[in-house]
Structure formats: structure tokens, C-alpha cells
Amino acid sequence: MKKLLKILLILILVIVLAVGGLFGWLTVTEYKPADVEDLALLESAPAQIAAGQTLDVLSWNVGYGGLGKASDFFMDGGSEVKAAGPNAVGEYLNGVNAYLYGGDTPDLILLQEVDVDSSRTYGINEADYLTGSEAQSRVHALNYSCRFVPYPLPPIGKVNSGLYTMTRYEIAAAQRIALPCPFSWPVSTANLKRCLLVSYLPIEGSDSQLVLVNLHLEAYDDGEGKIAQTNQLREFIRSEYEKGNYVIAGGDFNQVFPGSLDVYPNTHPELWAVGTLDALLLPDGWQFAYDLSTPTCRLLNQPYDPADTVNTQYYVIDGFILSPNVQLESVESVDLGFENSDHNPVRLQVTLQ
């Protein structure tokens, strides 16, 4: 009996030391970006935006090439942790490319959840994969970087993923602006470090710039993180407008836009409690740009089944914020049937006044 107890104590000690060692290593290697970091362009294009030009802008959370029609996700009530295989990732990314570069390429492209070296997507550099054949300015900003994410079982493993902005026009400078992190140690060591990817685009013959903000706000928090990040976003875009710039902020807000719940009621809050954007949070003269005719996101509790409207959930959480000097011409949630991502792209046309 004493021998058995000794063996059990040794096993417990080994487990405690292993867990402690893991969290110690994660703490030492934790990704800790500065509040503001200058970003190097992956590629640069020389053309400049003309004053008064109408621009075609797209935002799309591409689900790291692993969350297409056949996928679910463990955080949404499903079971999958990583993409089904490298072929599946390639298939989904090819589908994304087919839309982006299939003959009507947007002027400005904001993508979220683009992996560059992650176990869940088999090490594929998706930033290179999602590049068009024509000259582009391209920049990538990490918002999730961890050498080993230890949960769930089997674990996620290494992740390097983030925001990706592409345009046929010149980007004079780009920055990673850190957002508040709602998670404390030890959860923070292996969690996302959200940010804004801010690109400054010169306007021909003008001292003003187009400030293009790519964003992906908090998803699985208690709601306070989303609020804090949204408040910081508001203050940042207001400050840029007050400098005389044009501002377009777009991406995955992980919060429904005004009126969305009337069209797509949240019938499964136990799986994911979505936040809500309030039009009153915008400064005077600013506006949201979104489209309620088609959902922009689906719940990943099961593979996509368009015939099943009872056991899953749809949202409108992707869209844009426009400064008063950016005139909205049109906005559309493009119904691609969640074929290659758990999100549909949102596309708008705007004119710089």
C-alpha cells in the first residue's frame, strides 16, 4: 500500500512539474508586442489614390483556410481543432482567391485570420498564397502568436496568424496598434493579442491620407474586452479624422450591427453570446456600413447545412465604419454560401469627398 501511494505521489509530482514547466516556458516565450509597432511591407505598389476617387473595398474573415462548409469548431460547440488537412486548406484558399481575383478585384482588401506559420494549417504561408498576380502593396500584422497552444485535446499547437491588408495603391506606412487584452495570466500566455492594422495611403496632390484600419475584435470574452477594444478603436479613428484624414475601418467586429438581431435572432446564446454595437458609440457624422440582407457569419457548432435553420445561428458582425468625409455609395454582404469560410465577404463602394 505504501509502495502504491509512493508511485501515485511521484506521478502527481511529475504532472505538476510538467504543467508548471509548460506554463513557465509559455510565460517566458509569450508574445508581447509594443503598443505601437511599425510594420514592413511585404510588397509595394506605386500608384496613388486620386482625390475624389470612388473606391471598391472588401473585408473578409477567411477563417484561416480551415473553416469552410464542411467544418465546425470546438469553441462554438463543434469538435474540430485544426483544418481537416493541407488539401482542405488549399481548397478553401483557392476558393477565396477565385473570388478575390476572378475578374472584379477590389481596390482595397482587408482579410482577417490569415495564418503564416501555424500547426492548424500545416505551416502554409497564407499571406503569400492569397496574393494576386498584379502589383500590390501588402502588409500582415500578427494578432495571435504562440509557440504552443496547449488546449484543447489534441492541442492547437503553434499559431502565427493575423490581419492582412492588400491594395493596388501605395501604402506610405503601416502600423500595428495594440488593443486591450481582457485575459490575465496564465490564459493570456496562449491567447490572442488583438490589434488594429493601420495603413496610411497617400492621396495624389493632397496632404490628407486615407487611413485604412483592418480589425478583428475579441470573440470569446465576457463582453468587457469587446467594449474596451471598440472604445479604443473609436478614439483612434476620431483622432485620425481630426488630423484631416479620411478613415475607413473594416473587419470582423464580433458584435452585431444595429437591427441585426431583429433579422437573425440569437437563438443559441449558450454556444456563443454575441456582443451588440450601438450606433450612439460613433462620433457625430460617422456611420456604420453593413448589409442585413445576407448573414456575414455562421455559428460553427456543425458543418454548414443551409436547410437547417434551427440548430445553428447566423450573424451580421462584419462591416465598416466611415468618417464623415467618406461618402457611402453602396454596401453588400456577398452570399458565397459559406463555401470557403465561416464568414461571407462584405463589399462597399465609397467616394472620398
Give pLDDT tens digits for 107-129: 999 999 999 999 999 999 999 99
- pLDDT value at position 20? 74
- pLDDT value at position 77? 94
**What residues does each domain of the chain span?**
1-30, 34-352
The C-alpha cell at 284 is 457625430
> What is the percent of the chain with per-residue pLDDT over 90, rounded to a whole number?
85
Q: Which long-range contacts (CB under 8 A, 24 or more apart) does 16-23 make?
A: 22/148, 22/150, 23/186, 23/189
- pLDDT value at position 280? 86
3-class secondary structure, 208: coil
Half-sphere exposure (CA, 13 Å, Cβ side) for 258?
10
For 283-327, write each residue's pLDDT tens digit.
Answer: 899 999 999 999 999 999 999 999 998 999 999 999 999 999 999
Omega before residue 154 within 30° of 0, cis:
yes
- pLDDT value at position 26? 85
Rg of the chain taking only CA atoms, in angstroms: 21
Give the pLDDT band of residue 9 (cuts 50, 70, 90).
confident
- Give the C-alpha separation, 292 to 315, whole Å: 9
* Contact indicator for 257, 316 with CB cutoff of 8 Å: yes
pTM across the whole model: 0.95
DSSP 257: P
**Please, what is the average pLDDT of the chain?**
94
- pLDDT value at position 184? 87
DSSP 301: S
- pLDDT value at position 273? 85
Q: Is the pLDDT of residue 2 over 90?
A: no
- pLDDT value at position 229? 97
Q: From residue 161, how far is each of 53, 90, 137, 145 by CA, in Å? A: 32, 16, 19, 6
- Give the C-alpha separation, 59 to 88, whole Å: 22
Q: Give kind and range of the element (H or E) at residue 98.
A: helix 86-100
Average pLDDT of the segment spanning 338-348: 98
Q: Is the pLDDT of residue 158 over 90?
A: yes
Q: Is the pLDDT of residue 7 over 90?
A: no
For 14-59, write each residue's pLDDT tens digit.
Answer: 777 767 777 788 889 899 999 999 999 999 999 999 999 999 999 9
Query: What is the separation of C-alpha 207 from the centre of its chain, rounded to a whole number of angstroms?
Result: 30
- pLDDT value at position 322? 98
Give the pLDDT band of residue 332 (cuts 50, 70, 90).
very high
Tell me which residue of 234, 287, 278 sits closest to 256, measured CA to CA: 278
Cβ neighbours, 10 Å, residue 283: 14
3-state secondary structure 7-21: HHHHHHHHHHHHHHH
> What is the percent of the chain with per-residue pLDDT over 70, rounded to a whole number?
99
- pLDDT value at position 23? 72
Tell me which residue of 164, 172, 168, 173 sits closest to 135, measured CA to CA: 168
- pLDDT value at position 11? 76
Average pLDDT of the segment spanning 73-89: 94
Choice between 134 and 324, residue whose per-residue pLDDT is larger: 324
For 63-73, write each residue's pLDDT tens digit.
Answer: 999 999 999 99
For 235-286, write each residue's pLDDT tens digit.
Answer: 999 999 999 999 999 999 999 999 999 999 998 999 998 999 998 889 899 9
Query: What is the separation of C-alpha 300 from the centre of its chain, rounded to a whole number of angstroms?
Result: 16
- pLDDT value at position 103? 87
Q: Which amino acid is at 117?
A: D
* Plot region of 285 (φ>0 → left; ψ -120 to 50 → alpha; else → beta): left
Give the pLDDT band of residue 189 (cuts 50, 70, 90).
very high
CATH topology of domain 34-352: Deoxyribonuclease I; Chain A (3.60.10)
